A and B are shown apart, each in its own frame.
Chain A
């Protein structure tokens, strides 16, 4: 059998036979093969009958057709249905005596015709499974439109043509005056709306005067310092553009959504901050011991709105936000503390410095509670230098406070409410004790926790021998809470030796009372002083 394409009658030059299935015919005579390709493809998997030249008919599964060349057919599992060579019309008995041929190739010239019965033809969105499924189909395969886009490579969007007037999104948060865009003007132009916006309604009034430039420079400098500060917080670092962690492969989930475990450093820092915060809050609210004389004054002034002075702009760096929530800073460096020295030139109550005020905001109402990162540096110094006599008992000062010396040193150069003439506290075991009387004046608020004032004890005690130490006459030495067993009256009162001595910060009503000054007892209660009436 020669397999030449004998069907071809005329010497047709094959121009584009090799151009592949999807060719658009180059020759005029040869129409596009597309319909052939399409129909042949449709037949894949379909049962077809192939009539051969010799009359045999084979049935099988259409596998391939040589569309490009001569339409030879390949069948799978083909079986002879009807024998050829016999002229009679033999009934088609299924011949199962012979297993079907797995692959059956029929050369083109043998093919008379190929019949594909009920061939499904696909239009646009018809699923391929339109015929009755012979196998189980999953829901998704049934419902799926066959024209499914698999995942495609995503490309970054690029604008077609940049409108030059369009403000760049990245610069959106730049300062308005930088952008050259004045919304108010535009509104007025477009809609005729006059604006009543006054910046000073919303923020601190800026001091504009001869010192404006200087103040601005200071503010900028401080702002720069803040922004360049080291931070351990990932988010803050990212905002500032700092590459915080060395690992570059932190995934987005870690960066933006998971909760970061607090590491050691932060814990300790937090602790200290917290205590210092408490300290300062108390000091703010309650005044402090050194300025007892003007303690009231300072307490009250801390709540007042100080007169706007040139000091306000010094405080530019003190942002809002409690320090508790702020990112965990390292303990303030010395230079930052000293940086405040110049700026805190004028001020009156030191409390003013704690106002969280800067150029942009005024938070006068929130004075007491506000502590800022920048404010922190002063606190250690504050609590120490303000309460020198409390160092023995102050719980906070017993903890290591960073750079206390520097704080103190720098602090001394600042003007504050401290009484510069106050003597440093020195323990005098022979000093007279202080006995608070029920009618004695008291400051408006109870004494701060940290400022335990331990008056020097009286040396003599009538009738009772006291020494510096324990005597048998005294009751047990278990630590106990101080309870006032004093009877009103001038009689001498015996104070339990172990109890902590709570004494308000008023002047003693001069009574000599036997008081034994105890060295710091092991039990340091943190109870705030509740006044004379609470036992």
Chain B
């Protein structure tokens, strides 16, 4: 990584990468982008870029946290002040909200079945609106009781109490109808 290091070294410690400077960056992996420096730290040598050349007053940004050692080339193309408005405004972070957001995201990913058909996924999504459904490999497990196996017909509903079973069958049929899926698939 010598060239990269050399680049970084030559680029200087705090001189080169300053907050607000706009660079055109090329990474060793081949990726190129342009961005404004939001933060810079020389010790682990990480730079956070705000992607794009202009800092709009947008509520969201795309950030790139770049390990400076992988920067092969960085051309200064501009400069702007205080991209984060850090001095003017206080930066608030809703930690609880973020944690919730994380939980939601995790749940969402968990709801995606691995190796299942798109149809199955649709059924799963429809069921999960009203029931607590989980993927177990390729089976849908409802309330840890009733299991629906591939191909997810009402015939393949097993487990649970008689009442629960019947209910799930009913719901499944309704869902299928709504999705206009034939019962063959």
Contacts and interface: CB of A to CB of B under 8 A. Distances in A.
Contacts of A120: 59-60
Interface in A100-135: 100, 108-109, 111-124, 126-131, 134-135
Interface in B133-180: none
Interface of B: prevailing SS: mixed
Interface in B1-50: 1, 5, 8-9, 13-14, 19, 27-29, 31, 38-46, 48
Given A8-B44, A36-B41, A53-B70, A77 B99 contact: no
A8 B43 contact: yes
Contact of B101 (A109, A113, A114, A128): A128
A9 B42 CA distance: 9
A327 B39 CA distance: 76
A96 interface: yes
Contacts of A410: none
Given A9-B9, A55-B29, A124 B90 contact: yes
Interface residues of A, number: 67
Contacts of B101: 44-46, 128
Contacts, number: 190
A113 B109 contact: no
A459 B13 CA distance: 137
A51 interface: yes
Nearest to B9: A9
A368 B115 CA distance: 101
Nearest to B110: A77
A39 B48 contact: yes
Contacts of A65: 65
Contact of B91 (A38, A55, A96): A38
B44 A70 contact: yes
A420 interface: no
Interface stretch (A25-33, A336-344, A481-489): A25-33
Interface in A366-385: none
B140 to A, nearest CB: 15
Contacts of A70: 44
A42 interface: yes
Contacts of B58: 121
Interface in B93-132: 93-95, 97-106, 108-110, 112-116
Nearest to A50: B65
B41 to A, nearest CB: 6
A237 B86 CA distance: 62
A29 B13 contact: yes
A97 B115 contact: yes
B112 A71 contact: no
Given A115-B62, A146-B97, A35 B38 contact: yes
A7 B1 CA distance: 9
B67 A108 contact: yes
Contacts of B99: 44-45
A128 B97 contact: yes
Contacts of B41: 30-31, 33, 36
A61 B42 contact: no
B80 interface: no
A34 interface: yes
Contact of B1 (A6, A47, A98, A122): A6
B9 A10 contact: yes
A112 B43 contact: no
Contacts of B73: none
Interface string A4-32: 01111110101001000000000001110
B61 A71 contact: no
A15 B9 CA distance: 20
B98 A30 contact: no
Given A35-B86, A77-B110, A97-B115, A47 B105 contact: yes
Contacts of B59: 120-121, 123, 126, 130
Interface in B64-103: 64-70, 84-86, 89-95, 97-103
A44 B31 CA distance: 24
Contact of A71 (B29, B65, B89, B97): B65
Given A9-B69, A12-B43, 20 more contacts: A5-B44, A9-B5, A30-B41, A30-B43, A31-B39, A31-B40, A34-B86, A35-B84, A39-B65, A45-B103, A45-B105, A65-B65, A69-B44, A71-B46, A71-B65, A96-B116, A112-B67, A113-B67, A114-B64, A123-B85
9 contacts: A10-B9, A30-B42, A69-B44, A77-B109, A111-B67, A112-B28, A112-B67, A113-B65, A122-B93
**Which 5 pairs show the lowest CB-CB distances between chains A and B?**
A128-B97, A45-B102, A45-B101, A35-B39, A7-B69
